Structure 1
Amino acid sequence: MLTMEDIIRDGHPTLREVAAEVAMPPSDEDKQILLSLLEYVKNSQNPDMAAQYGLRPGIGLAAPQINVSKRMIAVHVYDDNGNLYSYALFNPKIVSHSVEQAYLLSGEGCLSVDESIPGYVPRYARITLKGWDINGEEVKLRLKGLPAICFQHEIDHLNGIMFYDYINKQDPFKPVEGAIGIER
């Protein structure tokens, strides 16, 4: 089981690398890594498990965050309507996105970043992504709101991008023109 000790911190070179594609069908080792990412996110949201194992709550985790530079992410997040988006994906890729942007009014956080970095992180309001599940089956998702933001955050990790790279350095809370502000 993954713990906070397995998660590398901001400044580690792996977080700035472009991760490698995972060969399909996935190896047993890659499947195990992918499952462990999802397990961490689910466990971190369970107050008893989080307390017992010292897990910081998260809604997503990417393989580079555990120092595995491969294109794998796990997300376990609810949308505004209480629908659960729980996915562990190999090689996720945004295939289309809205022109309209959105951002979390509370800003974003990251399990690899210990300090709070305030500011708005503009992202696409709606995305369509493709990836492959644990069995190597193609998955296509159309997302908006918090799930869309979460998947974009995790996919950025696969490309060596950190959420704070998008924050306006001069005015972190400058409203993003024409964008939707999302409560979390």
Structure 2
Amino acid sequence: MITMDDIIRDGHPSLRKTASEVQLPPSDEDKQILSSLLDYVMNSQDPVIAEKYGLRPGIGLAAPQINVLKRMIAVHVQDDKGTLLSYALFNPRIVSHSVEKAYLTAGEGCLSVDEPYPSFVPRYARVTIKGFNLDGTELKLRLKGLSAIVFQHEIDHLNGIMFYDHIDKNNPHKPIENAIAIER
């Protein structure tokens, strides 16, 4: 089971490296790592389990955040309609995206970043993701709103990009033109 002690913090060199593709079909070890990423985000959202194990709530986690430089992410989040999206993916990639942007009005957070970064982080409003689930089956997901933002945030981790890299340093609350503001 992954705990907060397993999650590396901002400044660790692995967070700035590009993760390697996972060999498919995935090994048992890779399946176990990916499964444990999903277990963390699910457990962190359960108040009883989170308190018992001292887990900070999260809705996504990428393998580089536990110092494993492989292209694996887990997301457990409700979409705009209240549908639970719970995915553990090998080699996820954005295959298409909207021109239109979106951002979270409350800003983004990260399990690897302890301090808050109140700011607007521009993201694509809609994305199509392809990746492989735990069984090695290819999935294609069309996402919008919060779920699109979460997947972009986690895929950025696979490329050594942190969410605050997208922020306008001179004016972090500068309105993002023609973007959808998402309340959370």
Shift of 1:80: 2.0
Report the Cα distance in structure 2 between the residues aligned to 1:106 and 1:73, rounded to whole angstroms: 23
Secondary structure, counterpart of 1:23 in structure 2: coil
**Distance in 2 (alpha carbons) for counterparts of 1:183 and 1:117:** 16
Secondary structure class of the residue paired with 1:55? coil
The corresponding residue for 1:42 is 42
- What is the letter of the counterpart of residue 113 of structure 1? V
CA positional deviation for 1:66: 0.1
Normalised by the size of structure 1, how large is the TM-score?
A: 1.00
Give, in angstroms, the shift of residue 26 of structure 1: 0.2
> Helix, strand or coil for the counterpart of 2:87?
strand
- Tell me which moved more, 79-88 or 42-51: 79-88
Structure 1: segments with no counterpart, 5+ residues = none
Q: 1:179: which partner in 2?
A: 179
How far apart, in 2, do the equivalents of 1:140 and 1:79 lie? 16
- Pairs aligned (count): 184
Give RMSD over aligned pairs. 0.4
Residue of structure 1 in register with 2:84 after alignment: 84
Residue in structure 2 matched with residue 170 of structure 1 by the alignment: 170
The letter of the residue matching 2:168 is N
Q: Deviations over 1:124-148 (max 9, x none)?
A: 0000010000000000000001000
In structure 1, C-alpha distance between the alignment counterparts of 2:163 and 2:2, rounded to whole Å: 23
Deviations 1:46-100 (A, max 9, x none): 0000000000000000000000000000000001211011000000000000000
Match of residue 3 from structure 1: 3
Moved over 4 A (4+): none
Q: Distance in 2 between matches of 1:80 and 1:161?
A: 26
Length-normalised TM-score, structure 2: 1.00
Identity %: 74
1:93 to 2:103 alignment: no
1:34 counterpart letter in structure 2: L
SS in 1 for 2:69: coil
